Amino acid sequence: MSLSYRQPGVVLTDRHFTVPLDHADPGGETIELYAREAVASDKADQELPWLLYLQGGPGFGANRFVGRQAWLDRALQEYRVLLLDQRGTGRSTPVNRQTLPLRGGPAAQADHLARFRADSIVRDCETIRPQLTGGAPWTTLGQSFGGFCTLTYLSFFPEGLETSVITGGLPSLDAHADDVYRAAYPRIERKVAAHYDRYPMDVERVRRIAEHLLDRETVLPNGYRLTVEAFQSLGLMLGMSDGSHRLHFLLEEAFVRTPAGAELSDAFQEQVQGLLSYAANPLYALIHEPVYGQGARPTAWAAERVRAEFPQFDAAKALAGDTPVLFTGETVHPWVFETDPSLRSLKEAADLLAARTDWQPLYDPARLAVNEVPVVAAVYHDDMYVDAVHSLRTARAVRGLRTWVTDEFEHDGLRAGAPRVLDRLLALARDEA
């Protein structure tokens, strides 16, 4: 039974779907998917085309908008929008430390987690599409990892797509995870340098925090072990439009004077644990590297291995000299399954995923080369999360794909630049721009 309710300017309807856990076994175990339908209040009774929103991640539920926030306002001018919680996220059958033991031991958990990549997600979409559209194709809007899913969709089910819009999410079709991170670390270093240029006082603040963490064990109130490597991973913020500013404000409140000397303040620790904990989105950590897996070559903790090729990210070496301590960014490392209490029980399963050698292909280059679906993509020229060189190479490999390359926005341009970004891309798809 669907439940509808209202927010300012929009009618929302809760949608629930049942799909196979393994689409190769359609008569086997099923899982539940949740999605929130959104339609403009003044168009609620009209027949409108559907737009499916594919969230970034992996491992995040769809945006929880209030009213007609961000890009949703532009989309609602002409679409009925489906905000899908991809399998394992949000209100869809959850996958986390509490539920995975129901699968059995680490090997069974790893096998289960392997079914939560883009190939399964787009098969979910094709299962639910006829129930909503009556079989008509729909438009997709893929942000970040949602763009990865879009390329998989175009590879295997193009008949389900009317138009595809991608923002900050054109992946390489054939790069191994090693290639992805080998390209990522120089971009991350540029973002850190730009932050220090903007806030030069943060160079010393970061060194002081790093020295403090190297000198003593620090456990945050939620049980998270704040190592210097974990602290460096706060650089993930630097890929967003306001991230540098938010990081600066965080750092300036790091220390407080106590009878025992300078200590990390409660306020700082509270904010840091919220930023670093994977309790709300464990799939991000678990399948972050497996989303690049194709074929027999394991991902094998690529970000950790490749980091060794960039010694400038070693905090201890930086502190021993006079160079700034660098943050890291769009990377997940095996140690997070030791520092984060929400992940510790899943370490063995994560290691098995990293060693896996039977990944199915996620893209079909031959089919993409003869693509007939209108596809447009915003490519942010120095996106910290998705390499622009990889994106443009893929754009050339997809027949008819049009790009808008811009340095006006960071990775969150769809949010920060709304409604302009979506408006520009829809016009581009229609040959109106």
Active site amino acids: 144, 358, 411
Distance (Å, whole) CA 327 – CA 315: 9
Q: What is the DSSP string of 142-168?
A: EETHHHHHHHHHHHH-GGGEEEEEEES
Q: Which of 101, 94, 98, 108 is CA-nearest to residue 341?
A: 98
DSSP of 398-427 = STT-EEEEESS--TTHHHHTTTHHHHHHHH
Residue that has been written with the tokens 């030791």 in this structure: 338
Dihedral (C-alpha) 228, 230, 232, 236: value to the nearest 10 degrees?
Answer: -170
Burial of 366 (0-12, 13-18, 19+ CB in 10 A): exposed
DSSP assignment of 324-347, as one string? PPPP--S---TTHHHH-TTTGGGH
Give the DSSP H or E segment for 320. Answer: helix 315-320
**Cβ 160 vs Cβ 183: under 8 Å:** no
Q: Tell me if 103 sits within 8 A of 31, measured CB to CB.
A: no
Of 29, 28, 32, give the one whose Cα is nearest residue 14: 32
Amino acid at 42: D
DSSP conformational letter for 300 = -
